[in-house]
């Protein structure tokens, strides 16, 4: 999918322990690790993460690396927010997750959210002035929060001091991961200069 060398880049994925869409977590984690990035998966607690396929069928179980409360956001270059309706709806109620996304945005580090994942950014008050996409059911939430929602496979927006990469569904993962890679390469170049 990519020839990006992400060696030395660190990515944090944030999820709840139930309901994350399997491919929106597993595919990016495997892709980023294959390209050399270190990826941690932070969940609400240290129990296995029960993923779902299509928001209803049981998927793979994933062992979190750490809990949301144990994360030091300064250790990471990019925040990944997978979707899944149940996961995203619960994640936005986790104070630690809201604080983490705010920490990334306020420090200018990129955030990548797919499907229902942008709900966390809406909750954190970070979509105002941003152009983004998501699962279509979030359109009104994004607009009410001051964002501009567009129907596109991937949107990368650098407004408001941080890069936000968004996609609609698992069908958009190739484009999403291409832009995530670009954001990580740009972050590495900025750190090197």
Helix 173-192, helix 22-34: angle, nearest 10: 40
The answer for residues whose C-beta is within 8 angstroms of residue 30's C-beta and 6 or more apart is: none
Catalytic residue among 9, 31, 116, 168: 116
Residue 78 parent element (H or E): strand 78-81
- Which one-letter DSSP state was computed for residue 128? T
Structure tokens at 74: 């300064």
Catalytic residue among 6, 42, 78, 115: 115
- Reduced to 3 states, what is the DSSP secondary structure of residue 123? helix
Query: Does residue 87 have an active-site annotation?
Result: no
Token pair 């705010």 is found at: 102
Token pair 């990826």 is found at: 39
Cβ atoms of 18 and 43 closer than 8 Å = no
How many residues would you count in the chain?
Answer: 193
Angle at CA 175, nearest 5°, toward 134 and 76? 80
Query: Does residue 115 have an active-site annotation?
Result: yes
Hey, which residues are catalytic here? 115-116
């Amino acid at each position: 999918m990519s020839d990006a060398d992400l060696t030395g880049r660190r990515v944090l994925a944030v999820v709840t322990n139930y309901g994350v869409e399997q491919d929106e977590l597993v595919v990016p984690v495997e892709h980023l690790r294959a390209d050399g990035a270190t990826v941690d998966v932070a969940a609400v607690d240290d129990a296995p993460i029960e993923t779902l396929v299509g928001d209803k069928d049981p998927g793979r179980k994933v062992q979190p690396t750490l809990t949301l409360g144990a994360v030091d956001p300064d250790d990471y270059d990019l925040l990944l927010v997978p979707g899944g309706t149940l996961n995203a709806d619960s994640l936005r109620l986790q104070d630690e997750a809201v604080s983490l996304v705010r920490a990334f945005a306020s420090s200018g580090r990129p955030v990548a959210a797919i499907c229902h994942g942008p709900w966390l950014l809406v909750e954190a008050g970070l979509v105002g002035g941003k152009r983004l996409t998501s699962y279509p059911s979030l359109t009104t939430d994004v607009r009410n929060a001051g964002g501009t929602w567009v129907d596109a496979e991937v949107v990368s927006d650098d407004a408001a001091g941080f890069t936000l990469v968004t996609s609609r569904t698992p069908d958009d993962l190739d484009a999403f991961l291409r832009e995530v890679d670009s954001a990580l390469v740009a972050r590495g170049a900025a750190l090197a200069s």
